Structure 1
Amino acid sequence: MNSPGALAHHLDGIRILDLFAGPGGLDVAAHFLGFRSLGIEWDRNACETRYAAGLPTIHADVSVMRQTRFHEIPESVDVLAGGPPCQSFSVAGTGAGRVALDTVKEFIHRLVSGEDEGEIDQELHALGDPRTALVLEPLRWLLKAIDTEGRDPYNVIVLEQVPTVLPLWEVYAEVLSSGEGRLGGIKYEAACWALKTEQFGVPQTRTRAVLVARRPGHGGITPLEPTHLPFDLYRRKRQATRTAMLPTDAPDAKKPWLSMAEALNAAANIQGSPVNVSRLSTDDEMKFFVVSNYGSGGDPKNRGRRLSSEPAFTVTGKISRNKVYKSTAEYEADKWDRFTIPESGVLQTFPHNFPWSGNDQAQQVGNAVPPRLGMHVLSNALRGDAPSAAELAAATTWPTVPRSTTHELRSIGCGDRSQCPPTSHKVTPVRRTPAP
């Protein structure tokens, strides 16, 4: 990282360090809550989106950053956040992490007890998928802060992952509460939950394992209170009308879950929005259904379906492969459409005009934390309450970012590229066929 003047300007007042930051789900959430964040991300394409969005970023490997460039993290950072890559733990992924779950639990205790990290690394690499080891990086960053002279331990820790990682977060909570070993008596109040995104106003069914930990004196941890009703996947229970789900006048009554049609219509009605769903509407009414790219019930050929009046399937990097049909006739004629990148982002609760950039944009969208869920989690962790209605309403539109800011952030994050991940900026030359 270079340009000290730019650093002082763009990294002033940073409180949150977001490991494995992706295109910025947690950072977008932090922005609308009034907190400044810095992300570390190895994927060049995600970095380009972050630069275009005005999000301070270091293009680097999280592990390398911890080992050799830890001093570059602003001392103002007191919140550690992150969502390690989920592929080895995800049901749709390799499964190496799920198989090694009990082994990884042991590694957590071994790291805290002070065993040689080199030996631990060798054993971790033998697990088959190197991404499995990344779930330990947040703990290693905490231990690094404790071991580094002149640095204070993080006051707040916020982690998220796929639900199969919840047992690991429970072990995290156990060791953070103990203050033992390398923690040197530093203790945290910690709690973890499996949260359904549609219960927090995300128009998508997706479950995330979340951990929140705070140093004593920063307020006790209370469970996140859902704002919306859950979506029941069982077909017989999905037939209930929306009228039957309407909230009562009770002050604690929950809203119905948000549907795809509601979210996309709301985004399309914002002036200047790139979301244009007129192609999905018939007679001025949005009625469509989505056929998933993934199989259902263990049968890869049994493609699940969702109506426009229901939340979306979990938005993954393959969302652009889902087929969208306006009618049964179109389905029978195999005449289908796709969700655009802005539409996919809206289903993740990114602002309608979020500046997706670089390549592999569908993968960026799918890898991200839904910002609306992030707002609820961060607000709970940092303020002990839920985001306000005004904050949630403002989170639909992203501020315009000058090109000069994007250029400056790229210069800070990539510099001369010498410290970026190896080959990440390599461009494969196009082979041109000689003219006959």
Structure 2
Amino acid sequence: MSHIENAPLSPAGFRIVDLFAGPGGLDVAADVLGHQVTGIEWDSEACKTRGEAGLDTFKGDVREFRAIFFPRAQVLTGGPPCQTFTVAGHGAGRRALADVLKYIEQLHDAVRAENQSWKGIFRTWHRISEKLRSKEREAEKVKARKREVEDIRATKRRAIRKRLVHLGNSDDAAKNILKELKDPQKLEFQDYELKGLLKELSDLNDELVKLKDELEELGDERTGLVLQPLWWVIERSKRPGSTPYEAVILEQVPTVMPVWKEYAKVLATLGYKTRTQLMHTEAFGVPQTRRRAVLMARFDPIAFANKTHPGYLRKVSESHMHYQPRAEQADHLFSDAPEKDESGKSKEKWVSMEKALKKAKEVAGNLELDPPPELHDRPDFTVVSNYGTGGDPKLRGRRDHDTPAATVTGKISRNRVVRKDNGEHLARFSSAESGVLQTFPVAYPWSGKDVPQQIGNAVPPRLALHVLRHVLEPELNDEEAEKRLEQATTALENWKPKKPVEVLEREDWDKHPFAGR
């Protein structure tokens, strides 16, 4: 049974279902704002963190759940995995994006068709789902064959190396020949056995190329996942006996913005005011430069009833300045005025790594956490990224202590931290520190395996505070909204986990408080 069963909502509280919920970035923000959230997450390690944090969670594939499972949920949020679109400049990424946009258009046609019944809309979704499932099953077969061919190829390469050594080459020479081997059949060897092995290796290479092409044509299984939130909104809006969500909030990497814009068209047809916004995290108090594509929607029952265009939501106001690398700052030293928001108020300066980590140490001391989180005292430092820049893997990105962090990814634990003055190696970022750079509370109970990946995949909670406040509390004026955010930010920094809870399974849904009418 869910632990939120008897938890009363605050006066402005909402019941939220968070799809692809991760370790809880949006959920912990919603919690400090007084909302009730249940998340659906397939990754068992992220679920362990959520359980330790006391966050209501269902473990499972979102596709195994339905919007009708949670009729009492009022808000839908989520960030479907869309890594396939991050290669939008390549053929596979372009095709995946084109496929998703095509499916969204088909759903939109079904939704806006005159006299279209719920059964007709559902049949459209069923056809899309079946096509995607068929592609996924075929892709699994191709992947299995690809793994088999890769294993055979590895065996052939070992046999070639052994034969090269047998023919008088040194072990290093044999390794170098294999390392440079691109077209085995073009190598000239008199040895009959070696020529046969090279021919077999060439054939295996050709088959692998064909298998990779097949996988690109079949597409990524995550293509279907990005459609899930849209279907949940359609189901709640069009299925007889259901009521539309009051609000929808979705976020992902910038390359997903074309998907959100097509989503927004469908949501407008369903009676939602919408807004898509590319958000720079440092402009919302996150000590990290990161960009997120966000879709926000609020249901307008009058527009829905009258079948008129509901209009648009306002943009979320930025509270902090944008970060500019030092090489670019010189151009702005003599600017006429600091950055200002839409109301004309000057923005705060972005938050540096040093400031965020220092504040985390103060908070941890005040909370008297047991055990205390791993927080290091460091002199002025520079973070050397695990990634290369400008296409050069040897040219590592660098950020100093008094600037925001570069985008926090699953590789953050591999970033080197060195003294700024002499390059001496310092302690790398701990899980607690990495979480703080994503604006998770210093007391967040990171659990399970591959914690850096959990942190890198998460929604920055402070960004979520701004978006949730903006969409769910539009009645607040600027002064009230600013005060609300200040209080929520303080509550987020000082947040401590509730009692750990058991992660629920799909079969528990009918006993959940959001399932009851």
Query: Quick one: structure 1 residues 98 and 375, their matched pair in 2 at CA, closer, same or farther if it must change by over 3 Å?
Result: farther
How far apart are residue 80 of structure 1 and its match?
0.6
Match of 2:289 in 1: 205
Superposed, 1:212-227 pairs within 5 Å as 212-216=296-300, 221-227=313-319
Deviations 1:409-433 (A, max 9, x none): 33x347799xxxxxxxxxxxxxxxx
Aligned-partner Cα distance in 2 for 1:262–1:348: 13
Letter in structure 1 aligned against 2:403: E
Match of 2:434 in 1: 344
How far apart are residue 400 of structure 1 and its match?
3.9
How far apart are residue 97 of structure 1 and its match?
3.9
The alignment partner of 1:302 has SS state of: strand
**Contact 1:20–1:84 under 8 Å retained in 2:** yes
Aligned-partner Cα distance in 2 for 1:277–1:119: 52
Match of 1:116 in 2: 124
**Contact 2:75–2:245 under 8 Å retained in 1:** yes
Superposed, 1:320-335 pairs within 5 Å as 320-331=413-424, 335=425
Query: Quick one: structure 1 residues 138 and 11, their matched pair in 2 at CA, closer, same or farther if it must change by over 3 Å?
Result: farther
Match of 1:423 in 2: none
Match of 1:372 among 462, 473, 482: 462
Superposed, 1:259-270 pairs within 5 Å as 259-270=352-363
How far apart are residue 338 of structure 1 and its match?
1.2
269-278 or 22-31, which moves further after superposition? Answer: 269-278
Letter in structure 2 aligned against 1:22: G
The alignment partner of 2:65 has SS state of: helix
* Unaligned residue ranges in structure 2 (runs of 5+): 111-120, 136-216, 303-309, 510-517
**Contact 2:385–2:398 under 8 Å retained in 1:** yes
Aligned-partner Cα distance in 2 for 1:238–1:352: 35
321-330 or 90-99, which moves further after superposition? Answer: 90-99
Aligned-partner Cα distance in 2 for 1:64–1:151: 19
Aligned-partner Cα distance in 1 for 2:8–2:347: 39
**Contact 1:260–1:308 under 8 Å retained in 2:** yes
Aligned-partner Cα distance in 2 for 1:76–1:84: 22
Query: Quick one: structure 1 residues 238 and 130, their matched pair in 2 at CA, closer, same or farther if it must change by over 3 Å?
Result: farther
- Percent of aligned positions with the same letter in both sequences? 44
Matched, 1:132 2:223: yes
The alignment partner of 1:8 has SS state of: coil
The alignment partner of 2:83 has SS state of: coil
**Contact 1:157–1:213 under 8 Å retained in 2:** yes
Match of 1:390 among 457, 463, 487: 487
20-29 or 378-387, which moves further after superposition? Answer: 378-387
The alignment partner of 2:86 has SS state of: coil
The alignment partner of 2:58 has SS state of: strand
RMSD (CA atoms) = 3.1
Match of 1:170 among 254, 261, 266: 261
Match of 1:314 in 2: 407
Aligned-partner Cα distance in 2 for 1:11–1:151: 23
**Contact 1:265–1:277 under 8 Å retained in 2:** no
How far apart are residue 328 of structure 1 and its match?
4.6
Matched, 1:194 2:278: yes
Deviations 1:133-161 (A, max 9, x none): 21111011112223544321111111101
Letter in structure 2 aligned against 1:151: S
How far apart are residue 339 of structure 1 and its match?
0.5
Query: Quick one: structure 1 residues 7 and 291, their matched pair in 2 at CA, closer, same or farther if it must change by over 3 Å?
Result: closer
**Contact 2:466–2:485 under 8 Å retained in 1:** no
Letter in structure 2 aligned against 1:368: A
Deviations 1:70-118 (A, max 9, x none): 5542x32111110111321235999844443233111101123246334
How far apart are residue 298 of structure 1 and its match?
2.2
How far apart are residue 237 of structure 1 and its match?
1.9
Match of 1:296 in 2: 389
Structure whose alpha-carbon radius of gyration is higher: 2
Match of 2:145 in 1: none
How far apart are residue 14 of structure 1 and its match?
6.1
Deviations 1:376-426 (A, max 9, x none): 001111012544311111110223422xxx24x33x347799xxxxxxxxx
How far apart are residue 10 of structure 1 and its match?
6.3
Matched, 1:23 2:23: yes
Match of 2:496 among 399, 404, 417: 399
Aligned-partner Cα distance in 2 for 1:63–1:123: 14
Query: Quick one: structure 1 residues 212 and 342, their matched pair in 2 at CA, closer, same or farther if it must change by over 3 Å?
Result: same
How far apart are residue 121 of structure 1 and its match?
3.3
Aligned-partner Cα distance in 2 for 1:62–1:103: 20
Match of 2:154 in 1: none
**Contact 2:4–2:36 under 8 Å retained in 1:** no
Match of 1:77 among 73, 78, 90: 73
Deviations 1:180-208 (A, max 9, x none): xxxxxx32111101000000000000000
Match of 2:5 in 1: 8
Deviations 1:289-329 (A, max 9, x none): 00111111222221100001110011111111111112353
Aligned-partner Cα distance in 1 for 2:407–2:124: 39
Match of 1:38 in 2: 38
How far apart are residue 225 of structure 1 and its match?
0.7
Letter in structure 2 aligned against 1:150: G
Superposed, 1:152-163 pairs within 5 Å as 152-163=243-254
If each structure's helix is expressed as a fraction of its own residues, which one has the higher value?
2
Query: Quick one: structure 1 residues 298 and 91, their matched pair in 2 at CA, closer, same or farther if it must change by over 3 Å?
Result: farther
Letter in structure 1 aligned against 2:318: P
How far apart are residue 356 of structure 1 and its match?
0.9
Letter in structure 1 aligned against 2:488: E
Aligned-partner Cα distance in 2 for 1:240–1:269: 33
**Contact 2:85–2:94 under 8 Å retained in 1:** yes
The alignment partner of 1:213 has SS state of: strand
* Unaligned residue ranges in structure 1 (runs of 5+): 180-185, 282-286, 418-436
User: TM-score if structure 1 supplies the norm length?
Assistant: 0.81
Query: Quick one: structure 1 residues 356 and 276, their matched pair in 2 at CA, closer, same or farther if it must change by over 3 Å?
Result: closer
**Contact 2:252–2:292 under 8 Å retained in 1:** yes
Letter in structure 1 aligned against 2:5: A
How far apart are residue 279 of structure 1 and its match?
3.8
Query: Quick one: structure 1 residues 234 and 91, their matched pair in 2 at CA, closer, same or farther if it must change by over 3 Å?
Result: farther
